[in-house]
Amino acid sequence: MKQTWDRVLPRTPFPDPTPEDPAVIRVTRLNGEHFALNPDLIERVEGHPDTVVTLVGDTKYVVAESVDAVLREIRDYRASVQAVAFQMDRGNYRPASPAPDEDDDSSSVVPFPTREER
């Protein structure tokens, strides 16, 4: 019988990141304190018996999540970066921006041309 990781390992209970959040993954210390790590700086994740996350600068963190859960968070983060890049390439991505003032004509931002305009 083939099992998927989503059925074997539950998703982490962290909320989805908001556009204001930096590019991080959320993990939990053994004492229950939540903190965030930059997934681009993670060099290795080891499980012996506690999960140890080692960053590029040899900083180590012991976290409560399993190795598979940390790897899933890293994979999901990188997939989201690629999804946004794909949307940008197709011209479908429009970041949330505040509504422009109708009286303000002093905008110095030039819209980026879509693929058809290039």
DSSP structure class, residue 117 = T
pLDDT of 4-49, one tens digit each?
444 444 444 444 544 445 588 999 999 999 999 999 999 999 998 8
Tokens 């304190």 locate to: 33
CA distances from 118 to 35, 93, 112 (A): 42, 17, 10
Which carries the bigger pLDDT value, residue 14 or residue 93? 93
Output the pTM of the full model. 0.60
The DSSP annotation for 28-95 comes to EBTTS-EEEE-GGGEEEEEEESEEEEEETTS-EEEESS-HHHHHHHHHHHHHHHHHHHHHHHHT----
